[in-house]
Amino acid sequence: MASFDSDPLVYLHVVITNPDGKQRDDPQTAFHSDTFHSTAKAWFFLYDIDDEKGPFTYVAGSHRLSKERLAWEREQSLAASEHKNRLHARGSFRLSRSEFSKLNYPDPTRFAVPGNSLVVADTHGFHARASSGRPSVRVGIYGSLRKNPFLPWTGFDPFNLPGLRGTQARIHMAQKDLESRLRGKPGSHRYAGRILATDPPSY
Ligand SMILES: [Fe+2]
């Protein structure tokens, strides 16, 4: 349902890591589930991602709602809103390594992949960006398909309509841009560089 017949949000995704201790911790390096329902994410990596560049890491089988997982989700749902981790409190639950055995999870798999690899994941399952031990750049085309789980239908997606298809990223960015202007401070996503990936090539 998460990935059926809909137009994903797609953009160029560049992760620059410079582990010199001056940056804030990258919140994506903690194992987490994006939300309580299945959702699809994909990365088409344009260059080799070797194991030291902070590859995508996934806990195999953690997308399934086992009895243990349901009990754990319920436990979190009762207390999460007061959790000190802002992202956990918002419903993107973090899972510490000490809790892996409680949920019968195996060690995570690291997806160090060659360039031109497409990695697709149900990010209801636990995943993280492995931390990088040295400065690195990770470049990929990122896609996300996360629909409203309360819609009583699958399929019909207004962003699939002619004229709207393929525009989600621009609409999303325009909204983020407007939000940060109204708040008067820069948001977490902002335009960078001189041209957009969708602009015609310049020579
Ligand atoms: Fe995530």
CA of 128 to the centre of ligand 1 (A): 7
On the question of pLDDT at 1 being above 60, the answer is no
On the question of pLDDT at 21 being above 90, the answer is no
- pLDDT, tens digit (0-9, with 9 covering 90-100), for 30-66: 899 999 988 999 999 999 988 887 889 999 999 999 9
Where residue 146 falls (left for φ over 0; alpha for ψ -120 to 50; beta otherwise) is: beta
Nearest to 39 by CA among 99, 109, 101, 123: 123
What pTM was estimated for this model as a whole?
0.83
Domain spans of the chain?
9-160, 167-198
CA of 94 to the centre of ligand 1 (A): 10
CB neighbours (10 Å) of residue 173? 16
CA of 163 to the centre of ligand 1 (A): 29
Q: How far apart are CA 39 and CA 35, in angstroms?
A: 8
- pLDDT, tens digit (0-9, with 9 covering 90-100), for 146-182: 888 888 887 788 888 888 888 888 888 888 889 999 9
